[in-house]
Amino acid sequence: MLRAPKRLLVGRPLRNEQLGDTLLPKKLALPVFCSDPLSSNAYATEEILLGLGLGGVALLHLAPWVALAVIVLLAVVVLSYRQTCHAYPGGGGAYAVSRANLGVNASLAAASALLVDYVLTVAVSVAAGVANVTSAFPVLVPYAVPISLALVAVLALLNLRGVKESGTIFAIPTYGFVVVVYFMIVWGALRVVLGETPHAESAHLGIQAQHGSTGLLAIALVLRAFSQGCTALTGVEAVSNGVPNFKKPKSRNAADTLAIMGVLTIAMFAGITLLALVSKVHITDDPARLIGAPAGYEQKTVITQVAAAVSGGDHTPLFFLVAGFTAAILVLAANTAYNGFPILASILGADGFLPRQFSRRGDRLVYSNGIVILALLAGLLIWAFDASTTRLIQLYIIGVFVSFTLSQAGMVRHWTAELRDGPPERRGHVRRARVINAFGAVLTGLVLLVVLVTKFTHGAWIVVIAMPLVFWMMKAIHRHYERVAAELTPGDDAVTLPSRIHAVVLVSRLHTPALRALAFARASRPSTLTAVTVATSDAEVETLRAEWADRDISVPLVVLDSPYRDITGPVLDYVGRLRRKSPRDVVAVFIPEYVVGRWWEQLLHNQSALRLKARLLFRPGLMVISVPWQLGSAGTDPATDPATDPGPDPGAEPGTEPETEPGGEPGRGPGGDSSAESHSRGRTGSFPVRMP
């Protein structure tokens, strides 16, 4: 039923050997893996101004220095992850580096941080994109949540179609955003040089200070602004996670893509920040704190205010281009997480720290389970936080800096080991690489402390709790897989054969599926064969007994009493008694079922067989055998179905078949006759339709 819509939405399945066709060149890898750090330019400057604005306009002159510190940090992290791409071409980023150099616990800490942050990336990116849309079209503000949820679903669907196909779709908005932002920066710089300084619509507004702007309070506000500006670094690690998705040479192409992204991001971030300061953009987390603002004033985002100031108004083509491409890139920035999360989850699944299903590729050779889970978790966050970028962003980047710090510390140990064991001619390069990673580890570690302190009381405590929970979950999953593997490993002793096999066929009515189940149970040649029914209605039991006698079925029929009309309990008690009589025996329970082909037909039949099987599977010493009978709606033609061909009589006594003679072949009677041939000569007159 769902096959046609699935093919329409997702596309036709791809063969395993087509995996090479899905690998990415640099021009497509940039929008696939770098849309998040590129898009962060839309709000990184805004976050710095919001942090400094808590002290009023007095601290805004420090914005260039805060931005410079973010740029230095970004450059160091990019250089570090370029080295990771070369050192660990198998992907996995911080997880792979930490596991190889710092141990399992450190690697799981990095993985839990990244998994949480990828979910936040989708939520923040989509919410920020919708916020830019509502800035241009305020009438859409009440519909921010449903619009955000719909966009999360669309992104998931596009990624389910395949990495390369989604990269082609996302390339236009990504490159369009880069082009219009660079045009805006160049045009704004040209106006400043010519003496036409642009003025933002909020330039004349003051900001009511919430905190002091001197002494320790000023330092605290600057640190908070710096921590919020570090959102510009989110998504940098995604390239190192996805190295296997690049075309050959994989490591070099990944490192080059990372370098291109770094240059583009630094230039855009610096340009937007400078234009925002030159045009005197004033923004707060609460419009009521704006001094001189008219009643009902709706703040625009910083990047749209800069676009309006540079182009001469909020009705110019440049303004709408910037607003449109900014909204598009912010929404599509979630694509970085849609690629990073499934790849990391697949590596964790293969290592046994997440369910194994995450390591399997779907129809389009993407990790479909990871994509679906990511969309569900991000949608839940958007709904819980009312699609508020301001609230969601407080949870952001903590996980990023945990993984940054662990990754670079792991790379320091990696280079130290190579310096000790590697060839002498590489020692100069290795020493330089170790210095870069050591400096990066110290720097990102300090930033992590700043981020934790400044954001903890603003909602970041949720992430601080979530990461250990994910860590504990992965450890528990791994323990489960290890325990299962230990139990499934064959010992030195041979598997003990059961003393006897007791076949129990569950019967509710004497219909064709029940007859087939009896025939199949008899064909398995058990030690004993019994039919069992549960008496939920005296009239039905009497009818069944009469039909049983009319057909002269020699299989004994056991009726289980059920005064409370329960089917499962009496059956479990009965097979439990059989097991207790002889623990070395095996009880084989045959369950006849008829199969319908349409989903709505399933609703018209009870699911007692499914419930019963679910309970029986947890009983030791029981074998549960489903005997299906496909109805016409399931696509079976009764005239050609082998299930309706003549066969041995299920009513014959078990054990009447010829036994194997000494020296004879297994499954053959005296004289070498096959069991099937011997059965076909048995009594067949008891049933009008003989079953196979």
Q: Above 80 in pLDDT, residue 436?
A: yes
| 427: its two tokens | 């020692």
pLDDT (mean) for 468-478? 94
Are 400 and 76 a contacting pair, CB within 8 Å? no
Q: What pLDDT score does 571 carry?
A: 92
DSSP code, position 668: B
Q: Above 60 in pLDDT, residue 257?
A: yes
Residue 494: pLDDT band by 50, 70, 90 thresholds? low
DSSP code, position 603: T
pLDDT (mean) for 292-308? 82
Q: Above 70 in pLDDT, residue 353?
A: yes
Could you give the CA distance from residue 250 to residue 243 in angstroms, rounded to a whole number? 6
pLDDT (mean) for 210-229? 76
pLDDT (mean) for 99-120? 90
Could you give the CA distance from residue 175 to residue 182 in angstroms, rounded to a whole number? 11
DSSP code, position 674: B
Residue 67: pLDDT band by 50, 70, 90 thresholds? very high
Q: Above 60 in pLDDT, residue 162?
A: yes
Q: Please report, rounded to a whole number, the percentage of residues in the chain having pLDDT higher than 90.
A: 25
Beta-ladder partners of 629: 594
H/E stretch holding 291: strand 290-291
Q: What pLDDT score does 25 carry?
A: 85
Least Cα distance to 341 among 185, 159, 72 occurs for 159
How many separate helices (H) and strands (E) can be counted in the chain? 25, 7
Could you give the CA distance from residue 33 to residue 171 in angstroms, rounded to a whole number? 11
Q: What pLDDT score does 9 carry?
A: 61
Least Cα distance to 156 among 194, 197, 122 occurs for 122
Are 686 and 552 a contacting pair, CB within 8 Å? yes
Phi, psi of 490 (to 5 degrees): -65, 140
Q: What pLDDT score does 15 carry?
A: 60
Q: Which residues contact 159 (CB under 8 A, 6 or more apart)?
A: 166, 335, 338, 339, 366, 371
* Three state DSSP letters for 31-63: HHHHHHHHHHHHCHHHHHHHHHHHHHHHHHHHH
Radius of gyration of the chain (CA): 34
Q: Above 80 in pLDDT, residue 650?
A: no
pLDDT (mean) for 608-620? 84
The listed range with the strongest mean pLDDT (3-17, 356-370, 381-395, 472-486) is: 472-486
Q: Above 70 in pLDDT, residue 279?
A: yes
Q: What pLDDT score does 679 carry?
A: 34
Could you give the CA distance from residue 354 to residue 348 in angstroms, rounded to a whole number? 6
Which of 395-399, 472-476, 576-580, 623-627 has the least mean pLDDT?
Answer: 395-399
Condensed to tens digits (0 to 9), the pLDDT of residues 673-684 reads 333 333 333 333
Are 147 and 140 a contacting pair, CB within 8 Å? yes
Residue 460: pLDDT band by 50, 70, 90 thresholds? confident
Q: Above 90 in pLDDT, residue 427?
A: no
Q: What pLDDT score does 324 carry?
A: 86
Q: Please report, rounded to a whole number, the percentage of residues in the chain having pLDDT higher than 70.
A: 84
Condensed to tens digits (0 to 9), the pLDDT of residues 377-404 reads 999 999 988 888 777 877 777 888 888 8
Q: What pLDDT score does 653 carry?
A: 46
Q: Above 60 in pLDDT, residue 645?
A: no
The residue ranking higher by pLDDT, 576 or 3, is 576
Which of 81-90, 238-247, 454-463 has the least mean pLDDT?
Answer: 454-463
Phi, psi of 15 (to 5 degrees): -75, 160
For residue 249, cis peptide bond before it (omega within 30 degrees of 0): yes
The Cβ-side half-sphere exposure at 304, using a 13 Å CA radius, reads 23
The secondary structure of the chain in percent helix, strand, coil, rounded to multiples of 5, reads 65, 5, 30
Q: What pLDDT score does 663 carry?
A: 37
CB-neighbour burial class of residue 665 (10 A; exposed 0-12, middle 13-18, buried 19+):
exposed
**Ordered DSSP codes for 197-209:** ----TTTT-EE--
| 529: its two tokens | 């064969």
pLDDT (mean) for 611-639? 79
Could you give the CA distance from residue 690 to residue 551 in angstroms, rounded to a whole number? 12
* Three state DSSP letters for 501-530: EEEEEECCCCCHHHHHHHHHHHHCCCCEEE
| 267: its two tokens | 């230039």
Mean pLDDT, all residues of the chain: 80
Residue 665: pLDDT band by 50, 70, 90 thresholds? very low
Condensed to tens digits (0 to 9), the pLDDT of residues 309-325 reads 998 887 889 988 998 88
Q: What pLDDT score does 473 carry?
A: 94
Sheet strands (E) in 536-689 = 557-561, 586-595, 622-630
Q: Above 90 in pLDDT, residue 214?
A: no
Q: What pLDDT score does 107 carry?
A: 92
Q: What pLDDT score does 219 carry?
A: 82
The packing angle between helices 163-193 and 302-311, to 10°, is 50
Least Cα distance to 234 among 265, 263, 193, 256 occurs for 265
Q: What pLDDT score does 507 carry?
A: 92
pLDDT (mean) for 217-228? 82
Q: What pLDDT score does 2 carry?
A: 55
Are 37 and 181 a contacting pair, CB within 8 Å? no
Are 50 and 228 a contacting pair, CB within 8 Å? yes
Sheet strands (E) in 159-212 = 206-207
Are 97 and 84 a contacting pair, CB within 8 Å? yes
Q: Which residues contact 367 (CB under 8 A, 6 or more apart)?
A: 342, 343, 345, 346, 358, 359, 360, 361
Residue 662: pLDDT band by 50, 70, 90 thresholds? very low
Could you give the CA distance from residue 224 to residue 230 in angstroms, rounded to a whole number? 10
What is the CA angle 617-619-625, rounded to 5?
40
Are 113 and 399 a contacting pair, CB within 8 Å? yes
Which residue type is seen at 233? L
What is the three-class DSSP state of 588? strand
Q: What pLDDT score does 470 carry?
A: 93
Could you give the CA distance from residue 71 to residue 13 in angstroms, rounded to a whole number? 43
Q: How many residues does the chain have?
A: 692
Q: What pLDDT score does 450 carry?
A: 82
Least Cα distance to 163 among 342, 291, 290 occurs for 342
Q: What pLDDT score does 249 carry?
A: 87
What is the three-class DSSP state of 394? helix
DSSP code, position 248: S
What is the CA angle 332-337-342, rounded to 5?
130
What is the three-class DSSP state of 594? strand
Q: Above 70 in pLDDT, residue 212?
A: no
The packing angle between helices 26-39 and 163-193, to 10°, is 60
Are 93 and 84 a contacting pair, CB within 8 Å? yes
Could you give the CA distance from residue 9 to residue 541 in angstroms, rounded to a whole number? 51
Residue corresponding to tokens 């009677």: 669
Least Cα distance to 121 among 284, 221, 237, 226 occurs for 237
What is the CA angle 431-434-437, rounded to 5?
155
Could you give the CA distance from residue 620 to residue 628 in angstroms, rounded to a whole number? 24
CB-neighbour burial class of residue 609 (10 A; exposed 0-12, middle 13-18, buried 19+):
middle
Q: Above 70 in pLDDT, residue 497?
A: yes
| 181: its two tokens | 């932002």
pLDDT (mean) for 100-129? 89
Q: What pLDDT score does 503 carry?
A: 93
| 571: its two tokens | 């059956």
Q: Above 50 in pLDDT, residue 547?
A: yes
Could you give the CA distance from residue 684 to residue 682 in angstroms, rounded to a whole number? 6
Sheet strands (E) in 422-578 = 501-506, 528-535, 557-561
